[in-house]
């Protein structure tokens, strides 16, 4: 009896020490009267976490079914890398340069959700003791398929069953504590044109990350007129840039603007963790509303002709 108890104790200790991700179980919440929107929601979309080598951490992922039907949920793991526009590119079966997929353990990997149900699954992040300081990047892919396949029809006749699958990725940004290389710079700031007749004015910021961890730059654009007076300021929320990549941020200045020359000054503020570094670039653009100028010129010419005509008549009568 004592030997059997000892074996059970050893087995339980082994599971606790070497499989910490089994400690938490999935939770399902039900919501009544949830509107049918034909989709499912995954959150949070982005998880940032700082861990030490050899440390285990858990973050919950929420999946809400709003499709109006029972869905089969499948969980996959992929690495991702940088991209200039979207910021990330999923790598499928490939291993990324800062791979995290072997350290992510979501449980369970398959389950069902009815409409109006939310599944909360724990995602365990197990970093090995020999992990080097820096960034590790992976994604938890949530794939949903209807429990009952959709019937495809052709000319009013049933053709066959089709399974429609949707995928949503939750991105995990893990930073392993230690000395890391942080280096980023505002590479360029531009407007899409030099001359405008009217708004909106489209600005593009291009930020380059030359370090070994992802950075979250944020910026502000100050608009001044020809006299140097500030007419507007645009605050830009942080966006992430993967290590070794550049990423552009495009935004439009929608405010109504008057005729004249304007100066746009962009300041990208990057907090690197140990100090604030500010890069600043300036560009100029002109606003010349040709339509308004043409109307104004026509009005001026019209009144000039009237005045000339009246003046000529007055001169004739005076003679």
Domains of the chain with CATH codes? 23-176 (2.60.40.10), 184-288 (2.60.40.10)
Distance between CA atoms of residues 258 and 274, nearest Å: 42
107 has a pLDDT exceeding 60: yes
Please list the residues that pair with 315 across neighbouring strands: none
Which of 32-36, 42-46, 83-87, 94-98 is predicted with the least confidence, judged by mean pLDDT?
Answer: 83-87
**10 Å Cβ neighbour count for 243?**
23
Residue 193: closest CA among 246, 252, 259, 236: 252
Distances (CA, A) of 90 to 33, 82, 96: 35, 9, 9
In three state form, how does the secondary structure of 239-308 look? CCECCCCEEEEEEEECCCCCCEEEEEEEEEEEECCCCEEEEEEEEEEEECCHHHHHHHHHHHHHHHHHHH
73 has a pLDDT exceeding 60: yes
119: Cβ contacts below 8 Å, ≥ 6 apart:
26, 27, 28, 62, 63, 64, 73, 111, 113
Which of 65-69, 135-139, 291-295 is predicted with the least confidence, judged by mean pLDDT?
Answer: 291-295
Distances (CA, A) of 57 to 20, 27, 79, 114, 279: 9, 18, 18, 29, 35
The model's pLDDT over 238-293, given as tens digits with 9 standing for 90+, comes to: 899 999 999 999 988 887 666 667 777 656 666 554 467 888 898 888 877 655 54
Distance between CA atoms of residues 66 and 62, nearest Å: 13
The CA-based diameter of the chain, rounded to the nearest angstrom, is 137
Distance between CA atoms of residues 48 and 125, nearest Å: 12
Per-residue model confidence (pLDDT) at position 288: 74
Distance between CA atoms of residues 279 and 269, nearest Å: 7
Mean residue pLDDT of the chain comes to 82
Per-residue model confidence (pLDDT) at position 79: 97
Q: Take residue 108 and report the two structure tokens written for it.
A: 């369970």
Q: Which is more confident, 294 or 66?
A: 66
Q: Which of 171-175, 198-202, 220-224, 249-253 has the highest mean pLDDT?
A: 171-175
Per-residue model confidence (pLDDT) at position 195: 81
Residue 296: closest CA among 259, 262, 261: 259
Per-residue model confidence (pLDDT) at position 17: 46
9 has a pLDDT exceeding 80: no
> What's the pTM?
0.77
Contact 47/121 with Cβ under 8 angstroms?
no
Q: Is 211 helix (H, G, I), strand (E, B) or coil?
A: coil
Q: What residue spans of the chain are helical by DSSP H?
A: 2-18, 290-318
């Amino acid at each position: 009896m004592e030997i059997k108890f000892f074996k059970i104790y050893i087995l339980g200790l082994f599971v606790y020490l070497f499989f910490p991700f089994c400690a938490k179980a999935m939770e399902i919440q039900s919501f009544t009267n949830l509107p049918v929107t034909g989709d499912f929601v995954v959150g949070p979309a982005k998880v940032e976490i700082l861990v030490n080598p050899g440390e285990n951490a858990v973050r919950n992922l929420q999946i809400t079914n709003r499709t109006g039907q029972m869905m089969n949920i499948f969980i996959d793991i992929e690495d991702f890398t940088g991209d200039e526009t979207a910021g990330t590119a999923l790598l499928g079966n490939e291993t990324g340069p800062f791979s995290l997929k072997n350290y992510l353990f979501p449980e369970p990997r398959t389950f069902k959700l009815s409409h109006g149900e939310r599944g909360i699954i724990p995602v365990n992040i197990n970093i090995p003791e020999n992990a080097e300081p820096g960034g590790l990047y992976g994604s938890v892919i949530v794939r949903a398929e209807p429990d009952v396949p959709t019937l495809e029809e052709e000319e009013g006749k049933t053709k066959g069953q089709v399974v429609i699958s949707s995928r949503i990725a939750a991105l995990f940004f893990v930073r392993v504590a230690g000395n890391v290389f942080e280096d980023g710079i505002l590479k360029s700031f531009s407007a899409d044109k030099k001359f405008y007749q009217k708004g909106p004015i489209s600005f593009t910021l291009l930020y380059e990350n030359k370090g070994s961890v992802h950075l979250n730059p944020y910026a502000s654009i100050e608009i001044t007129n020809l006299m140097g007076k500030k007419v507007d300021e645009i605050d830009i929320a942080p966006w992430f840039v993967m290590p070794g990549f550049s990423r552009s941020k495009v935004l439009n200045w929608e405010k109504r603007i008057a005729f004249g020359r304007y100066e746009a000054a962009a300041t990208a503020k990057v907090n690197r963790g140990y100090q604030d570094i500010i890069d600043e670039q300036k560009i100029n653009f002109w606003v010349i509303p040709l339509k308004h100028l043409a109307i104004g010129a026509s009005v001026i010419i019209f009144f000039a002709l009237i005045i000339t005509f009246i003046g000529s008549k007055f001169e004739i009568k005076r003679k």
